[in-house]
Amino acid sequence: KPSHDTVGFKKEVERITIDLALQWEKDISLSGGYAREGLTSVISVKVPNPEFEGQTKAILPLRGKILNIERKDEAAMYKNQEIQNLILAFGPGVKGEDFKKEALRYHKIIIMTDADADADADVDGAHIRILLLTFFYIDIRKLYLMKAAFMWVFHLSIRMSERNVFSWTSIIGLYCEVGDYEETIELFYLMIKGVVPNRFIFPKVYKACSELKIYRMEVAREFFEKMELKDVVVWNIMISGNEQNGRSYQALQVFSQMIMERVKPNSITIASAVSACTNLSLLQHGKEIHAYCIKTDRLVSDLLVANSLVDLYAKCRIVKVARRKFNSIKQKDLISWNAMLADYAEKGCREETFELFNEMKSLGVEPDVITWNGLITACSLVKDLKLGKEIHGFVIRKQIELSTGVGSALITMYSGCDHMEWACSVFNVLSDKDVVVWNSIISACAQHGQGVSALNFLRGMLVSDIEPNKVTIVSVLPACARLAALRQGKEIHQFIIRRGFDMHIAIWNGLIDMNGRCYGMHGFGMDAVNLFFSLRSIELKPNHFTFTNLLAACSHSGLIDEGWKYFEMMKSEYAMGPAIEQYAWMVDLLAQAGQFDESLEFIKEMPFEPNAAVWGSLLGACRIHCNPELAEYAAGYLFELEPTYSGNYILLANIYSAAERWGDAARIRILMKDRGVTKPPGCSWIEVKRSVHSFIVGDTSHSLVDEISAKLNSLYSEIKEIGYVPDTFEFVKHLTISGRK
């Protein structure tokens, strides 16, 4: 209608905005109503289906260009009446305690402006699109309500009188920005049916492909190959994109192709290529790129290139060359200092680290989060607790607030130096815990065998409304594996599928390991092995970790034939030379089946010197089959390789006790005492009603300890009545050592 016919409805429209109906229909086909775009301030609504006549909907008047968001600060935006109406209509609020995602109203909002015949629909539609998607999405990024708004904007865009490359680029960019990468690719396919894409759309398509990982990367590659005009920007996206997404080898291939096609690289190109060499530890290739820069007299003094070269030589342990290149940089930035500091700290060069750090401070260069992270992470890598504590102390003395990045690095450092209590202390003092911090503490617990704590931290993470990511899953799966917590492992597996994380090889490795242990403990070993075939069916290439976990699954379930099959498959189908870890699991598989002759022959034919894992597998199998002679042989090597590890001594003593060789068992106990080796208290886990409970020897701290003790006594009485005789050799061996009978 003409504008003057509907002015009287303004107050009524605003009342309807406040008086929204609380229907929660998520099916867009049931949301009767559509938008018409135009230039005037009037409202128009049409309900195509009579069954919707009685439903109240929010009708929001957007009067042309509401405000210029680029020039308004946040406070001014929230004072705008139209903005307030939109926030109120959508339902969840905006920030802090007012934000409630579950209050979102689906498909109940009709945003409309009038369109008369001469109206410039494109202009007004663009303004609305900018308001909704630039302001609302960027400022209220947590909201998933934009899905509905995008559907509206998409229909608005495709109804434009001229669907040109610019409108397509805009809408595809919006879907990419909010992380709907599948839809981004689908829209791109729809676009190329009638419109020739330009180079501006390539970054968006590439980002979507890289996020969808391997099974979509061929789309980006195909698009790239078909582009007739590829300038240096397009080449850089392909090179840096591959490098940043863990595809450094492919990045170097594209770089070589670029040079062959005589496209001159810029500083971003060279820096990305050098970073790819650093990731792959390809020092010679990096030197060749460095030589290319010197030969062509281009970019060798560029700061970005110089920093990447410092990092290359430092990571490849050519410290003198790295320092020489660092010294040659005339205008060093913080990245330069961070690279050199991290290199010194990683190598445990305490004096050089602090000398360089003091030089940096004297020149007025203030350290940032990356500086602290690099220093602390390097201390973790070399397990230099003293240097790590000194850096932590410096941070405290300077009253530097612990950011999530620094806090996460400290947690990793302390746990890496076997001080979990300090890692937990750092976690507890952090006021703002993001997903990185939670991942750090979960991973630390899992790596130190504290599976119950890892799962408890995961629960705390979910209660804190922090969404787990791929790193969380990779960290928590080993905890489920260690505890053989099958139910919780299944729940995590379901979460992986729902979130689309099942296209990542690290997660598949964790699943195979977790299922191998959990199902193996429950007698369903082949179910774990079947995961490997699922991995192959989606064309994900297994790596060494995959086969290590696969062989472990076979060992837990006694699948000898399958174990040999996958061990040979590594070499024949994937051209992988088995590592020491795979050999150790094969020894474990053979020895646990009682094939000791084959195990010893296998060990002799190994291309490596057997390590503690190999001899430990053999010793563990001797306990099962009560073979004290072979146990002595394996333990002899273990006492040399791991002289302070109590498990080897205890296991050998138990084997002697099982064979009733009490004198030998006592001798091993005395040997432990003489060498100062102590045994940590034993711990057992049990999963009951979705909760994992841990029990330590002599511990009475469990909240249900009285009920548990009563039940155990009852069970013991029943067992005794049935006629079972307890196995007392573990008890007898302790009595023998103390001289009692």
Question: What are the tokens at 124?
Answer: 């007004």
Higher-pLDDT residue of 499, 234: 234
User: What are 267-310's pLDDT values in tens digits?
Assistant: 889 999 999 998 888 899 999 999 988 887 767 778 889 989 99
3-state helix, strand, coil in the chain (%, to 5): 65, 5, 30
Q: Read off the pLDDT of each residue in 455-478 and give the average, rounded to a whole number.
A: 80
pLDDT value of position 451: 73
Listed ranges 93-107, 466-480, 685-699; the one with the highest mean pLDDT: 466-480
What average pLDDT is seen over the chain? Answer: 72
In the predicted structure, residue 476 carries a pLDDT above the cut 60: yes
pLDDT of residue 89: 60
Q: Give the start-end residues of each E strand in 18-115.
A: 58-61, 109-112
Write the CB contacts of 102 (distance below 8 Å, at least 6 apart in sequence): 92
> What count of other Cβ atoms lies within 10 Å of the Cβ of residue 304?
17
Per-residue pLDDT, 600: 92
Assess whether pLDDT exceeds 90 at residue 633.
yes
Q: Quick one: pLDDT at residue 167?
A: 66
Handedness of CA 464, 467, 468, 471 (dihedral sign): negative
Residues 194-203: tens digit of each pLDDT: 677 766 777 7
- Please determine, for residue 409, whether its predicted confidence score (pLDDT) is greater than 90: no
Q: Degrees (nearest 5) of the Cα angle 6, 9, 11?
A: 145
Rounded to whole angstroms, the Cα distance separating 566 from 563 reads 5
Q: Which range scores top for mean pLDDT: 62-66, 77-81, 145-149, 613-617?
A: 613-617
CB atoms under 10 Å from CB of 541, counted, come to 10
Alpha carbons 235 and 202: distance in angstroms, whole number = 10
Kindly state the percentage of the chain with pLDDT values over 90: 8
Residue 38, pLDDT score: 35
Collect all residues with Cβ–Cβ distance below 8 Å to 426 and sequence separation of at least 6: 402, 407, 410, 411, 414
Residue 430 banded pLDDT, cuts 50, 70, 90: confident
Q: What is the pLDDT of residue 407?
A: 85
Average pLDDT of the segment spanning 704-729: 81
Q: What's the confidence (pLDDT) of residue 629?
A: 92
> Which pLDDT value is given to residue 24?
38
Rg, the chain, Cα only: 32
Quick check: 737 pLDDT over 70?
no
Mean pLDDT to the nearest integer, 143-157? 41
**Bridge partners of 692?**
687
The residue among 519 and 57 whose pLDDT is bigger is 519
Q: What is the DSSP string of 119-140?
A: --HHHHHHHHHIIIIIIIIHHT
* 3-class state of residue 496 by DSSP: helix
pLDDT reported for residue 614: 92
Q: Tens digit of pLDDT for each residue in 320-361?
A: 888 888 888 888 888 889 888 888 877 767 778 778 888 888
Q: What's the pLDDT tens digit per position in 552-590?
A: 878 877 888 888 988 998 888 877 888 888 899 899 999
Distance of alpha carbon 313 from alpha carbon 207, whole angstroms: 30
Separation in Å, CA 307 to CA 242, 270, 331, 338? 20, 11, 11, 10
Say whether pLDDT at 731 is over 90: no
Cα separation, 111 vs 104, whole angstroms? 16
pLDDT above 60: residue 450: yes
Q: What is the pTM of this model?
A: 0.47
| pLDDT single digits (tens) 24-70 | 344 434 433 333 333 333 333 333 344 444 443 444 444 444 455 44
Q: Examine the pLDDT at 502 and tell me if it is beyond 70.
A: no
Rounded to whole angstroms, how far apart are CA atoms 86 and 79?
12
Structure confidence at residue 574 (pLDDT): 79
In this predicted structure, the answer to whether residue 7 has a pLDDT above a threshold of 60 is no
Q: Which two tokens stand for residue 57?
A: 């909907």
pLDDT at 138: 40
Q: Six-digit token pair at 541? A: 């290439």
